[in-house]
Amino acid sequence: MNQATLFRPEWRWRGLALCNAIAFGILGSWLWQPTRQLWEQIDHAVFNILNSPLATHPLWAHIWAIGSMRPADAGAALVMLLFLIGRNLIFSGTQVRTALFGFLSLLLLLTLFRVGLFSKVVDLMQWQHSSPSITVDGAVQLSTLFPDWENKWHMKDRSNQSFPGDHGAVLLLWALFLWPFARGLRRLVVAVLLCLFMLPRLVAGAHWASDVFVGGLFLSLVTLSWGLYSPYAARVTSLLERWGAPILDPLGRLPGLNRISLFSKR
């Protein structure tokens, strides 16, 4: 599999239309009143199931308090990076640099779309809302249970602007990006890691389930559709590889670093 297979520099209208149809269908189900009520029921049910045990089960509270800290986010990011650049984990040694730069190109597109367009639509349509840890009576806030940890590490357990779930959007983008290239058990591992990395925000009540599975999924699907089913990913990845080669190629000739595929391309 070469770069041309990873990212095709052409428009693929069927995939583009299908991916956008799914994304807007999910968003539409959240906006249409009959199905909006179903989403609200799901939101409250998921929050109650995940958040309520924090008050009565100390081990559950400690686990998710740790998972809600910034160092845990950094650990998750390292695992995500490993799946992109680990030789033969998902991609072969000759592909990992292309895969990494391809994902970075999609992250850039996601950021531009989120900040430049979607945030304005959210504000205009008044879709924004506060997280369940703020709005639900009796909600358990991890920052209240562990004030010392909150002061030192800042737990992500509340927000006055929780829609869409940006954290979930990045995780979903990563998993959906890897999915076509992963095989067998690796797909299951990616799915398990996706759920594990998303749970801290949901348990702590920083986001409603719909913030992630409507807002976050919408953002990730639209980003994937316009990134992968257009020439965008192929062209931006090629550009990033040309810019990165003068730095990464010499590092690939150094002892130790020459075993890392990102530098050696093998």
Residue 252 lies in a domain: yes
**Residue 176: pLDDT band with limits 50, 70, 90:** very high
Residue 2 lies in a domain: no
Residue 4 lies in a domain: no
**pLDDT, position 252:** 87
Residue 3 lies in a domain: no
Average pLDDT score over residue span 71-83: 95
**pLDDT, position 1:** 39
The residues facing 91 across adjacent strands are 87
Read off the pTM: 0.94
Mention every residue, 6+ apart, whose C-beta is less than 8 A from residue 136: 44, 47, 205
**pLDDT, position 118:** 95
Give the domain range for residue 65.
Answer: 9-264
Judge contact between 144 and 151, C-beta under 8 A: no
Residue 1 lies in a domain: no
Number of domains in the chain: 1
**Is the pLDDT reported for residue 154 higher than 90?**
no
Residue 210 lies in a domain: yes
**Residue 126: pLDDT band with limits 50, 70, 90:** very high
Residue 171 lies in a domain: yes
Residue 13 lies in a domain: yes
CA separation (Å) from 187 to 173, 179, 182, 183, 244? Answer: 14, 6, 5, 6, 29
**pLDDT, position 264:** 86
Say how many C-beta atoms besides its own lie within 10 A of residue 225's C-beta. Answer: 20
